Amino acid sequence: MLASNGRSETIQQKRQRIYDAIDSATPDRLRAILKKVVNEQPGGLSLVGEELLLRKGQSKAYTLQNRPNGAGHGDEEQDSSDYSDADGDDAPRSKRKSTYSRQRFEHCVQCEKEYDVTQNGPRSCQWHDGDDEVDEEQDFWADHDEDCHGEIDTPEMRKLFPEGFRWTCCNKLGNDKGCKITPHRPDRSKRVRR
């Protein structure tokens, strides 16, 4: 490919142009391109599968390895399918439908962030289990006139001005780190079912 100055582009320059295009593309466009790679490129199915899916037993092995000391026996919540494969490696081969068992990346219902299930340890998620309510004890909203500036108690205001809210669970400001530290929990409503 010729650059605007008439010279041939180097591999590094081509790569950077592609990176720039990826960074500016919409999520829908990127999904369409990934699906095309999976369907049309030799090795595309394996490459994308290895990045986005877990092999049977992979998440279970990580979960068992990263439990805190003493955890394990009788810890029903930890042993749920949120942290391990539903069939596991012990399932008979006739029951296995594929070499992949589940998505590698999930959305956490607690902190509302994406996480890698292979990196989900006992202290991976920091979150609040209360509600963030308008903080009327401080002077943060003193000059705010709802007739002029709009309503305070809205999701938009929480995002724009988290320091004007307090968590009911710990009384910390809205922009303070979470008071609970636990493993991430998947938001099952975000999973695609077929």
- The overall pTM is greater than 0.85: no
Nearest to 165 by CA among 128, 116, 121, 112: 128
Dihedral-angle region of residue 167 (phi above 0 means left; psi in -120 to 50 means alpha; beta otherwise): beta
- pLDDT tens, position by position, 132-181: 999 988 889 999 989 998 999 999 999 999 999 999 999 999 999 999 99
- pLDDT tens, position by position, 52-97: 998 877 765 555 555 554 443 333 333 343 443 333 434 444 444 5
Contacts of residue 135, defined as CB under 8 A and 6 or more positions apart, other chains included, come to: 141, 164, 165, 166, 173, 174
